[in-house]
Every structure is written in structure tokens, then in C-alpha cells.
Amino acid sequence: MLNFLNNNNKLFNLKNQSSPNKKIILTLFILFLFRFGNTIPLAGIDQEALKRSFLELENKNSIMQIINMYSGSGGTNALVTPFSLGIIPFINASILVDLLTAIIPSLEKLQQEEGEIGRRKILFYKKILTLLFAIAQSVFLIFYLKSYFYDLGIFNTIITSLQLVSGAMLVVWLSNIIDSKGIGNGTSIIIFTNIIVTLIGKNVLNYQIDAAFIQQILFLLFLIILICISQTARINIDVVSARQLAFLENIEKNDVNDKLTNNFQVKDNGLAIKLNQAGIFPIIIAANIYPFLTFIGQSIFGNSKFLAVSNIFYYLLIIGFNYFYTIIFWDPEKISEQLRKASVSVVNITPGNETISYLENVVKSTSIIGGIFLCSILISYEYFKQIMGGSLLNQINISSLIILVGVAYEVQKTIRALYKNTVDLQTNY
């Protein structure tokens, strides 16, 4: 072990830009700055009065729930801070740009064909829209919590809005640093941190260990296993190369025993499609949009009428966004072209339009199945929570749990890959 440490200086050298340790330390430092910002109370608001009514505000259909998820303010003494908008404006901007990219050919070309320059332009558009969303959402939040402000004149409203907008843009900047120089996806990492802080603030593990508590823990572990399955499950499409086809044709011509053909496993070279190609982002996006739409729906139709269909609406959002992002990021036509260039074809499917059509059907059906699987986890949680009636389950939001498990899985996979690549480079060197 000592020899390994002594012979792999680059692995633990913080001066090395690609050092996994440096990336981890930088990520932790960025998160520290973000959490520190969440300890600064927003000027002009009665934080104590807000605390007294926080539990009433933080219900399933409240805007405060999403504020808590994306800013983690519930785990601090100050419930509303300059960082209260968190990463919400950037997520909304990203959704809109992705939708426009799927509709507008010029944006699609910019993203897919112009490489790094195109991606930077897309990111620039997202930042502009983030600013606009931050302004609109800051005004919305101010008027949502207007009863808790000391003085809500025009001047104070502008100052408060500037604080919230500045905080949101700073969070985006910190997230981009994690994306480029840290570990994992900056947006996911920030949300992950906020959820952890919020759970700590609720003292979710401060319970008496009894049979009911153990039962709830076992149920949560079962859900975590299901979540891991949803994030790792893959559907394999058998493919075969031109060389393999020639081999099989030669077998048929020479009337070789079928045993040899059966032992020839073309599926080992299969094309794997993740059950949830979009990962946890459908959950993040749906959890982001749902409270705002629910608030609007309740205002228009009333609580009783809208709440009757609100859960179904939430599940449809998850399935819809899982389908949408899968279609965007997994282009059957592009995959078909790549297979053709590599002289590889799908088994029993003619290359060209037939392959494109086949891949489209597989991708679409897989995305819907993946979305339904995610929704089944949510539904089972709500069902068993009612049956068990446990206080621990009441403190844990299932959407937050899915995000936690999904981000943790992706981060550990990224870290393992970084260390493996660094060790391989050292070995070759």
C-alpha cells in the first residue's frame, strides 16, 4: 500500500489539474460557500414569524417545499436568504432551451454539429433566460411571502428582488464551476446538498429505535434498492458486425453443427439502452414545476377540485419529461448512422430506415416504461406510508430520496472512473 502511494504522486498531487483529489476538494469548497450563503438572512423579512408558520407553509402543495429543496433554507436559522431561489431559475431556463432545441432546427444544429462552440452558445442562452426567470420568480416569491415583510414598498421590493436575483446567478456560477472543474453535475450536487441539510435540520434519525422504526428503515432500504434498479437497469439490443455476419454465413454454407452457432454470443456486443436515460432529471424537473402549477391551479379551481387530480398530474409530468429527455439525448437516426459507419447492424434488422424505426420504437417504449417505474416507486411509498403511519416516513419526501440515491450513484461512479483513469495513466507512464 505504501509503495502504491509513493509511486502514484500524480494521483494525490493537488497541483495536477486533473487530480481526483483536487476535483473533490474544489467541489466541497464550492458547496461550503453555497451553504455559507444560506446562513445570511434576507433583509426586510420577519424570519421569526416565518419560522412559526413554516410547517403550515411547507405542505405538499406549497411553494415553500420547492424553496426548501433547491435552497436548503429549512436546515438553517434563516428560512429565506439571498440564495432562496437556488438553482430553480437555471432549471427552468434549461427546460425551455431544451424544448426550443427540439422544435427549432437551427438550435438543434447548433447543439449537435458545432461542438464546443455550439454548446457554449446554448449555455449562454440558458444564462440569459436564467436571469429573466430569476427576476420573475423573485417577484413571485416576494408577493407570495408579502405578509412577512416589514415594508413592501416599491423601493424595498426592487432591493429584495436584486438580492434574490444576484443570489440565483451566483448559484449558477458555482454550479458551472462544479461542472467544469469539480465532481459530477453541478445542479444535481447542489440539490443533493440541500436535501441532506434539510433532512439534518428535521432530525430525521432522532427517533426511538423500536419495531415500527426498524420496519420503516427496512421499507426505505427496499425503496433505495428499487431506485438503484431504476437508475442502472438496461435493455440490451443484440448487434452483430460485418465480420461476425460473414462468420455465421460461412457456418451455414458449410452446414456446421448448430451447437457452434448457439455458442456464438452476438449479444455480448449488444447496444445497451438505460431504462431511465434521463436519470433523475424528470423527478427534479417535475418537483420544480409541480408546486407552482398546483398553486396556480388551486387559485383558479379551488383546493378540493384541483387536489383530486394533482397527484395524477405529477406522475404524468414525470413520465412526460422522462420521454422528452430520452428522445432528445438518444437520437435513433444518429445511432443508426454510427452503427453503419462501424459496420455493425442490429440482429435481424435491415440497416437504414428499418433500423431507425426499430430504435425509435425501442427508445420510446423504454422511456415510457422507465417513467412508469419511477411513478410506481412514488405511488408505493405514498401507499405504504399511509398503512405504516410512521413519523420517519412523514419526514422524508420520496422525490428527494430518489434524487439523493440517483446523485449518490452518479457521483460514486464518476469518482471511481477518475481514480481508475489516473491509475491507468500512471501505470502507462
Residues 356 and 274 in one domain: yes
| pLDDT band at 130; cut points 50, 70, 90 | very high
Residue 257, pLDDT score: 41
| pLDDT band at 178; cut points 50, 70, 90 | very high
- Among residues 340, 337, 292, which one has the least CA distance to residue 313? 292
Per-residue pLDDT tens digits for 390-412: 667 777 778 888 888 888 888 88
Residue 100 lies in a domain: yes
β 234-237/271-274 pair status: antiparallel
Residue 5 lies in a domain: no
Residues 187 and 311 in one domain: no
Lowest model confidence (mean pLDDT) among 15-29, 240-254, 370-384, 404-418: 240-254
Prediction pTM value: 0.75
d(CA 260, CA 130): 59
Residues 347 and 245 in one domain: yes
Identify the residue with better confidence: 128 or 145: 128
CB 284 within 8 A of CB 403: yes
Does pLDDT of 415 surpass 90?
no
Does pLDDT of 74 surpass 80?
no
Residue 248, pLDDT score: 47
Among residues 144, 167, 202, which one ends one of the domains? Answer: 202
Among residues 202, 231, 265, which one ends one of the domains? Answer: 202
Among residues 202, 219, 250, which one ends one of the domains? Answer: 202
Residues 322 and 387 in one domain: yes
**Residue 35: all three cell numbers together:** 451553504
Residue 6 lies in a domain: no
Write out the residue range of the structural domain in which residue 214 sits: 209-429
Per-residue pLDDT tens digits for 325-375: 887 777 787 778 777 777 777 877 888 888 888 888 888 888 888 889 888
Task: Indicate which CATH number applies to the domain containing 83.
Answer: 1.10.3370.10
Mean of the per-residue pLDDT values of the chain = 76
- Among residues 116, 192, 151, which one has the least CA distance to residue 411? 192
| pLDDT band at 129; cut points 50, 70, 90 | very high
Does pLDDT of 58 surpass 60?
no
